[in-house]
Amino acid sequence: MRCRSVLITLTVLAITFGWTSPVSRLCAQDQDKAASEFKFNDIDRQVLEDCNAIDAQYGKKGLLLQDPDLQAYLDSVGKRVLGNRPSPEQVQFKFRALRDPMVQAFALPNGSVYVTTGLLSLLESEAQLAGVLGHETAHVFERHGYLENRSVRKKALTINILQIVASAAPVGPNFSQAALLFGAAVQLGAAVSSQVLVASIFGYSREMERQADSDGLKAMTAASYDPTAMARSFQLLDEDSKLEYEPFQGFYRDHPKLTDRRTFALAYATTNKPANPINGAEKDFLGKVTPAICADIESDLNSRRERTAVDRATRLTSLFPDVPKYQVLLADSYRSLGAKAKIPSDDERNRHGQAEHRKEYFSMTQQEEQKRLLGKPDGPATLQANRTQAETLYKSVLQSDPTYSQAHRGLGFLYEDEGKYADAAVEYKAYLDLVAGTSIDHLRIERRLAAMQKVASLSITH
């Protein structure tokens, strides 16, 4: 009930903030004037301090994806979108990837632009990323964060709103309902400043979002990116919001109408394409953002989003079939599915099924869920099919490279799950020999190896 009340509360408030605040009634011309005449006051300085504190917490808590190549890529695209425009007062643009599977991007008023690994995993091209960065930087240039915060009505409504998210009851030992439903970025940022994050993450007024779309289109076009890519981004967000792989809801379900925004972007693109528009191939783009996708897959596997993990890993292996890391991630994903079907059933997809799926998910541990699935008529066959697929992938990697340690590790887990303890011991031993004590989990695997050897020896003596 608490989880449901949080969803309802935040959805209603997000819509209220987005569509009926006093600032939302400003026309685009008034907003431009407000931004050009913007002067800092004490309230704005407090917002700036809160933004800097949020930045510090994201770094301190390990939510920033620290990959030099990915960071350089984000910086290069961001710099191109900014062009030669001077930064507003008290703004230093920084582009960062957040370790968060929630599909989202947002900009703080101080110029920190965050793109989640979830969104990077969804996009298809560099031009789409440029559109996202163009939109978010527009909010900063137009001072939308400060202008929204100045609304007395908004400030009254935001009191303790996101603290509800931050204090949501835990689900299991490793994660909370808040993190699962709203993303780690929201949960952590809420503990610092709910007022800053409400507008930044849940969206501004419809007029401000439209202005950010317009400014973003102009910025990406000036940088020679194909503006139709922004329209495609809206289509991807709309399609993603309708997927029912897992019992979660994304922010864009209640975002200003994506179909209308896509139509607007397409109309702009028909008369404003650059001479030689840049879009970019999907394979080239994914080659740049694979650290984000891999981080998401690992997060999915740790948070019971097995279907999403399979989907992401399949996308990687289809484009990069010879990369063993992606093959192992796909094998890990199939192994984690257990008795769960890769594609949701029709019953899960319908409205009643979605509600029941969420209820069951949040009321059961992973082990309890697997036990329930095995009790269904197709459960045992599904389990066997997923395990067979995982084993095939692991062995395929080892056939090409017998020294690839992660494949041995995965096979060890698989054989242990299947009760093949002697085989599991062999794979664990191979893994430990290859990593030679350098892996962070070698002590854990040593204990599993000892346990497998003991169980296997007992089975032989009996």
pLDDT at residue 6 above 50? no
Pairing of strands 175-176, 112-116: unpaired
**How far is Cα 189 from Cα 369, in angstroms, rounded to an integer?**
31
Kindly state the average pLDDT of the residues 169-180: 41
pLDDT at residue 375 above 80? yes
- pLDDT, tens digit, for every residue of 414-447? 999 999 999 999 999 999 999 998 999 999 999 9
- Which ranges in the chain are annotated with CATH 1.25.40.10? 305-461
- What pLDDT is recorded for position 166? 47
pLDDT at residue 293 above 60? yes
- Domain 305-461, CATH 1.25.40.10 — does that match? yes
- pLDDT, tens digit, for every residue of 50-85? 889 889 989 998 899 999 999 999 999 999 999 999
Of residues 37 and 365, more confidence is placed in: 365
The pLDDT-based confidence of 195 (bands split at 50, 70, 90) is low
pLDDT at residue 176 above 90? no
Determine if residue 224 is left, alpha or beta; phi over 0 gives left, psi from -120 to 50 gives alpha, anything else beta: left
pLDDT at residue 314 above 60? yes
Per-chain mean pLDDT for the chain? 82
